[in-house]
Amino acid sequence: MAKIDGIHADNPAYGARKIARQLRKDGEDVTRWHVTSLMHEMNIRPCCPLPSLSKPSKRSKRFPYLLKGKKILFPNQVWSTDVTYVQIGGHHMYLTAVIDWHSRYIVGWRLSDTMRAEDVVRCVRRAFAEHGTPSVMNSDQGSVFGSDVYVSLLASNRVTQSMDGRARWRDNVLMERWFRTLKSEWLRTHEYSTPKELGRLVAEFVGYYNDARIHQSLGYDTPASWYYAGINERVA
């Protein structure tokens, strides 16, 4: 049952057929009908297929990817932002997050129950207010990131806008990995049933991730230590 719960948490649109197929790939001898029975017992239901958050609209502005081969040397040089789905009961919420490339420090996040450019803008504006502005902000080609309100926010703060290449999820891999870590290491192992409880869990994880979780790529330091040490060096 734990494996079914894990697959469902990562892929909330999967039904019994796809979950059974994934379990068989992992070496489990199960049938679709057995998985269906277990899902009923666990009160797990697939949510409806969700639209792609990375798909641009016809009116979305597009920008080139500016970070190929670029050396990231200090905090607030490059940030990335993205939006993911988080399942809550039979529904889902949207989580926007912003990460600093140099330190892996999460400089901002916001939960909302709608997928609007204004919600992303509120998240990014608060990150600017609390941490200053980056030189470059990267995102995927999702319609919210090509919207007038988001593009105007970056332009008015003199932040250069960069977008992933088409079907190039690796261009924003730091943000993708953070979402995966949040879901696999934290949300999967905690219970929540309301937006307030989900928000509390996300806040707890951001604090843990920034201040306590060590990273091999950071010399086994924390994102906070790298972020603030780099900021202090530049000020000095």
Query: How far apart (Å, rounded) are the C-alpha atoms in residues 134 and 128?
Result: 8
Q: Which two tokens stand for residue 205?
A: 């994880």
The sheet carrying 106-112 orders its strands as: 106-112, 91-100, 78-88, 136-139, 160-163
The partner residues of 80 in beta bridges, in order of sequence, read 99, 138
Q: Regarding beta strands 136-139 and 160-163, do their DSSP bridges make them parallel or antiparallel, or are they unpaired?
A: parallel
Q: Regarding beta strands 78-88 and 91-100, do their DSSP bridges make them parallel or antiparallel, or are they unpaired?
A: antiparallel
Q: Compute CA distances 186 → 31, 62, 93, 211, 230, whole Å.
A: 29, 34, 16, 15, 28
Most confident of 66-70, 111-115, 207-211: 207-211
Query: How far apart (Å, rounded) are the C-alpha atoms in residues 217 and 207?
Result: 19
Least confident of 3-12, 77-86, 95-104: 3-12
Least confident of 20-24, 70-74, 152-156: 20-24
Report the 10 Å Cβ neighbour count for 112: 17
pTM of the model: 0.76
The predicted-structure confidence for 105-155, as pLDDT tens digits, reads as follows: 999 999 999 888 999 999 999 999 999 999 999 999 888 999 999 999 999
Mean pLDDT for 5-19 is: 72
Query: How far apart (Å, rounded) are the C-alpha atoms in residues 31 and 38?
Result: 11
Q: Compute CA distances 123 → 111, 167, 179, 208, whole Å.
A: 9, 25, 16, 20
- The full DSSP string for 131-150 is H---SEEEE-S-GGGGSHHH
